[in-house]
Structure 1
């Protein structure tokens, strides 16, 4: 039991990470129950190309995606994202975010990469009369 959050979205990066950098990586999910081990994983794509030596399957990572496991506890999300950025972020640009929706309103936030750092971003609400609500005061 405990407080659960739903995670969605993804963070793409450029250039993709080639398989040579990823062999035996702890950031590639083997699937199944392993999805519980981390909140974020690298999203892999495979491309089949014809070469002069025959058919070649090229694997590379193109994005960071949330775990497929249910009932996640999002507390370590920023640190787990930072692990990936630290290991594979040099020379890459990042775009997008992972959205977190907690069980209780107004628990909504996201993580993204800014200048090589994983950061948590909290939204703000401004009512039509100009009054702003600070989410950090209500969580």
Structure 2
């Protein structure tokens, strides 16, 4: 065993228990958008005790139907970075979708691969999509050890 083996996460975990802002229906899997993939964890202190971040991702697959996924919420004590990545290696900037997100009530429509920094205390979401032509990855990097949020 190498000196740094403990720093690697080699097995993804089911991170659906971490989602506290997706609404009861999504947490209970009763009314999940049909094209929302399973959420997997990538990093947290439970796997790497030295880690001070909580990171997970999921795939969002094609759909002509608009959907709202995450409800408005705020993180009081930690910042967050949200990342959405298209999967076309010939055109990595093209998301292949129309992602919709609000920050402090201001609506943003996103069609390119990108990210957003959410400062602690900033109300953000709803988050969803108008359409998805190609699968894309959505990553949440919470800059604290445990994902915490308050509904707004």
State if a TM-score over 0.5 links the two structures. Answer: no
Greater Cα radius of gyration, structure 1 or 2: 1
Larger helix share, 1 or 2: 1
Larger strand share, 1 or 2: 1
Instruction: Provide the TM-score with structure 1 as the length reference.
Output: 0.30
